[in-house]
């Protein structure tokens, strides 16, 4: 995927800075970077990672100096008092990704020529009241301070700090309340006992009717459940109902 992106950039004319050796591909493209060869592959280390190529895809490898080697050679050739030369070297180092070296050259330029505007701008300096200052110096001159990576007034910083302290106290209280609730829930689980398995009695709609009847014969026979549960039986008539209250039956026999 990286190789495809690089080849696409090369096709539209995007110039990658020189970072060392040049790998000429059989497809016609080139890659520049630090080359490491293995038995069956060529690894090209780039500023954005590395690309591993099969040796069959490589036409030839053109050995060149790395950007750091080139920088060291150019730096050694500069005169110590050449402010403009150090500035141009800083720009070149910046263009090839040597940020630390570029910053060093811009600082050297300013040390030699304090009013070098372009070097100040390259370092992110600002012109305030006729003097070049860093961003930190400018903000501090305005009476601001940096809190949590942002510039603000001391009053705003103090208020923000107080609010964060309040939020931390509230968070600790919430965590303590949640822990106490969990503890009480565990205690309730251990105290609860299972209820006994007591059958639920469903009244039969005829219970009240049969319990209030006056029968002519004192003879009563009780049949064994679950077949029938009679309320009364005698020589002339009898009543019973089946368990569960699904239906009741009344029979009267007169002689």
Judge whether 4 and 53 are in contact, CB under 8 Å: no
Average pLDDT over residues 162-191: 91
Give residue-wise pLDDT tens across range 32-44. Answer: 888 888 888 999 8
Average pLDDT over residues 207-213: 51
What would the DSSP string read from start to end of 26-80? TTS-EEEEEEEE-SSEEEEEETTEEEEEEGGGEEEEE----HHHHHHHHHHHS-T
Give residue-wise pLDDT tens across range 119-169. Answer: 999 999 988 888 899 888 888 888 898 888 888 999 999 999 999 999 999
Is the per-residue pLDDT at 249 higher than 50?
Answer: no
Supply φ then ψ for residue 53, to 5 degrees: -115, 145
Cα–Cα distance measured from residue 170 to residue 132, given in angstroms and rounded to the nearest whole number: 46
Find the distance separating the first CA and the last CA of the chain, reported in whole Å: 108
Lowest mean pLDDT among 44-48, 51-55, 185-189, 240-244: 240-244
- pLDDT at position 178 is 93
Is the per-residue pLDDT at 244 higher than 90?
Answer: no
Residue 130: count of CB within 10 angstroms of its CB: 5
Q: How many residues would you count in the chain?
A: 255
Which stretches does DSSP call E strand in the chain? 21-25, 30-37, 41-46, 49-54, 58-62, 126-128, 131-133, 145-147, 150-152, 229-233, 237-241, 248-252
Beta bridge partners of 41: 54
What would the two tokens of residue 210 be?
A: 């049969």
Percentage, residues of the chain above pLDDT 70? 67
What would the two tokens of residue 217 be?
A: 């014969």
Percentage, residues of the chain above pLDDT 90? 37
- pLDDT at position 125 is 92
**Mean pLDDT computed over every residue of the chain:** 76
Lowest mean pLDDT among 109-123, 179-193, 235-249: 235-249
Cα–Cα distance measured from residue 126 to residue 115, given in angstroms and rounded to the nearest whole number: 12
- pLDDT at position 16 is 46
DSSP H or E run through 99: helix 99-112
Name the band, by pLDDT with cuts 50, 70 and 90, for residue 233. Answer: very low
- pLDDT at position 226 is 42
pTM here is 0.43
Give residue-wise pLDDT tens across range 47-103. Answer: 667 889 999 999 999 887 778 888 999 999 999 999 999 999 999 999 988 999 999
């Amino acid at each position: 995927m990286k190789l495809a992106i690089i080849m696409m950039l090369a096709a539209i004319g995007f110039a990658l800075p020189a970072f060392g050796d040049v790998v000429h591909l059989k497809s016609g493209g080139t890659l520049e970077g630090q080359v490491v060869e293995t038995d069956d592959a060529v690894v090209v280390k780039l500023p954005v990672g590395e690309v591993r190529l099969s040796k069959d895809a490589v036409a030839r490898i053109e050995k060149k100096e790395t950007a750091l080697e080139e920088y060291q050679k150019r730096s050694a050739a500069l005169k110590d008092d050449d402010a403009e030369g150090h500035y141009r070297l800083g720009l070149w180092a910046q263009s090839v990704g040597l940020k630390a070296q570029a910053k060093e050259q811009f600082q050297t330029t300013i040390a030699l020529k304090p009013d070098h505007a372009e070097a100040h701008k390259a370092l992110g300096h600002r012109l305030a009241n006729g003097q070049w200052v860093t961003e930190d110096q400018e903000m501090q001159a305005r009476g601001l301070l940096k809190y949590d990576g942002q510039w603000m007034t001391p009053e705003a910083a103090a208020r923000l700090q107080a609010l964060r302290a309040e939020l931390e106290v509230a968070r600790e209280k919430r965590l303590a309340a949640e822990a106490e609730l969990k503890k009480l829930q565990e205690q309730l689980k251990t105290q609860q006992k299972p209820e006994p398995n007591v059958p639920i009695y469903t009244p039969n709609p005829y219970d009240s009717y049969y319990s209030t009847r006056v029968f002519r014969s004192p003879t009563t026979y009780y049949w064994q459940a679950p077949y029938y549960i009679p309320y009364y039986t005698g020589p002339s008539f009898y009543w019973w109902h089946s368990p569960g209250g699904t239906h009741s039956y009344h029979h009267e026999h007169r002689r």
